[in-house]
Structure 1
């Protein structure tokens, strides 16, 4: 992992911090009915984006991410959440006209340590992300339930909100460099210690553990400023012991493409695809297997700048969702600020430096 191309990339470490900090958003939207149990998935699409697999500067770094999302759902995707919180039994016949609206405003903090000593010929980094913030959701409409010959119609609404802390999300990555080609593998997961109740419409934890692993690739030509990244993985969910429910296996891929306009500024596009590939199981899988799918795409812009003897990085990206199945559609934005060690000036070719004196 030596050479001028690799060493030039070390100055781009702040971009990778957006990845680590974003990992903690998994499961934040329990009240937002995304997928799986009651419409909630561990994986939050959009965690990875540009330069995900590039090398890093060894040492401690810190990233902070402000995340906002607003989504809505109709029909069965909304009914799944009402069934999950116990407002109607899961074994009745349902004719519904429901709408779910949900929002979240969250702050994520992600300390990460990157080792200087190679591991398996690659660069090892470990970190953990914690979060705090507010999640809210409301459900409204008309619901008709039938048990045998009897039918009951109900019209109304109810809502819920919570401001607290969420689960913890550890992560480890290994990265390798070969000229303009970069490769990575990662493993992360959910430690379910955040605010959660199976009877609440809004939560900041998901109520069960999860393990997620995968790999990625980044093409980066620092001379031309061209970059493309893609990271794919699978999530295995453990059983929720409060509900005896287990989510299916999820597949996801995040991607980013960017063009550097200067040594400090880049613009581009980001996107994701998410697909649940096995059915839910457990006490009464809501609405059958309830497999979900979503695609998202949007713009991004990033700026690198010195902060004393550290490297600062600011990134703004947003996604609009479409092709949604069994989960709400909406939009989300990520604002990332990070600080990391500055690459030593002696290791960088001046034409490839990302900071100015």
Structure 2
């Protein structure tokens, strides 16, 4: 099989890093890194210019009735949560080489809604104790995330490095069970590889990274250092369509700390796998890209786990030449 090089795409390496009960087992189930953020073609260069990425994300996750976690400055038991978010990610890819590679910068933010219920609240931020069910929801905006990437191509082999941080301005309230903002700074960086053989139609991508978190001064909680691996494999059925599998592995390397970490280190991990379908198509002679992927989580420890789906559309906006 021979296919054209699918270079116009959403930079899926954007860290979506918003409050999601499936994101990590850091404070409140909130982690800077959202597993699954990287996907197919993660390290392949793109066409120069502007691209707008839009991703609808839905997650459903739960924590057992006998499992405790820190939520909103309190200790809770049992979690059932849903999240619906729309990530918007404008990306500019430079035409001039940087260090022999292709540089790009991205911004990302997400409006959305989260809902959660807990089976019991054992202690609260003012020392009170509550038993029985408690529900909460929030509609608002995430923090604003910025990322820089650098990519190199050598035939069928593609390499990349990235670094990112965030402006913690998202919807946040210490007394809420769910939030769309982190309320703390964090830095994430890593590297990745993509194997793309246009003749055979084979594609494989993997990106590995680490997150360093700063303290949330409103709750005196500091998340530990996280590691994460996102991977994807696919086969082109034609020049336009590819199908395959996606997965991720998340592992917290150091424990949580600070006066607010009443459950101790609370290190977490989770793995996930699922299907994906991608489609390239032209609109006014520009190549757009649509992708659908889903993950089923397993082997979770100290975190809410379940399933999530991603529906992505990448829209090329203009030339960078």
Q: Same fold (TM over 0.5)?
A: yes
Which residue is equivalent to 2:209? 233
Distance in 2, matches of 1:262 and 1:64, equals: 24
Alignment map for 1:87-106 (pairs within 5 Å): 98-106=77-85
Give a deviation string over 1:126-166, Cα, whole Å, max 9, x none.
Answer: 0100110101111115869xxxxxxx996411111011111
Of 13, 16, 23, 1:19 maps to: 13
Instruction: Kindly indicate whether the alpha-carbon contact (under 8 Å) linking 1:45 and 1:272 is maintained by their aligned counterparts in 2.
Output: yes
State the superposition RMSD in angstroms.
2.4
Out of 243, 247, 259, which is 1:283 matched to? 259
Question: Does structure 2 retain, via aligned residues, the 8 Å contact 1:39–1:77?
Answer: no
CA shift digits 1:262-286 (9 cap, x unpaired): 0000000000000000111111423
Is contact 1:72–1:100 with CA below 8 Å preserved after alignment? yes
User: Residue 46 of structure 1 aligns with which residue?
Assistant: 36
Determine the structure 2 residue equivalent to 1:355: none
CA contact (8 A) 2:279 2:289 kept: yes
Q: From the superposition, tell whether residues 138 and 308 of structure 1 become closer, same or farther in structure 2 (CA, over 3 Å).
A: same
Higher Rg of the two aligned structures: 1
Change (3 A) 1:154 1:111: closer
**Distance change >3 Å, CA 273–CA 117, structure 1 → 2:** same
**Aligned mates of 1:316, 1:276 — CA distance in 2:** 28
- Contact 2:19 2:30 (C-alpha < 8 Å) held by counterparts: no
Match of 1:351 in 2: none
Tell whether 2:73 aligns with 1:85. yes
SS in 2 for 1:107: strand
* In 2, Cα distance between equivalents of 1:154 and 1:138: 13
Find the partner of 1:137 among 89, 106, 116. Answer: 116
**In structure 1, what is the equivalent of residue 297 of structure 2?**
321
- Secondary structure in structure 2 of the residue aligned to 1:55: coil
Q: How far apart are the structure 2 equivalents of 1:216 and 1:199?
A: 38
Q: Between Structure 1 and Structure 2, which shows a larger proportion of helix residues?
A: 1
Distance 1:138 1:261, change over 3 A: same
Partner secondary structure for residue 43 of structure 2: coil
* 1:167 maps to which of 126, 143, 163: 143
Secondary structure, in 3 states, of the residue corresponding to 1:19?
coil
Q: What's 2:225 paired with?
A: 249
Match of 2:48 among 58, 73, 76: 58
CA apart distance, 1:59: 0.5
SS of equivalent to 2:29: coil
Quote the residue 1:267 is aligned against: 243
Q: Distance in 2 between matches of 1:203 and 1:143?
A: 20
Runs of at least 5 residues in structure 1 that lack an aligned partner in the other structure: 89-95, 145-151, 344-357
Structure 2 length-normalised TM: 0.92
TM-score by length of 1: 0.83
* CA displacement 1:55-109 (0-9 Å, x = unmatched): 110001101000000000025644432xx433x6xxxxxxx9x421011100111
Gap regions ≥5 residues in structure 2: none
The whole-number CA distance in structure 1 between the counterparts of 2:246 and 2:197 is 18
Separation (CA, whole Å) in 2 of partners of 1:311 and 1:33? 32
SS at match of 2:86: strand
Question: Size of the alignment, in residue pairs?
Answer: 315
Partner of 1:192: 168
Question: Deviation per CA, 1:16-71, whole angstroms, max 9, x where unpaired?
Answer: 43433xx2x31231x66831123321111000011100011000110100000000
Q: Is the 8 A contact 1:309 1:342 kept in 2?
A: no
Alpha-carbon shift at residue 8 of structure 1 (Å): 5.0
Residue 8 to residue 118, structure 1, CA distance change in 2 (3 Å): farther
**Superposition deviation, residue 288 in structure 1:** 1.3
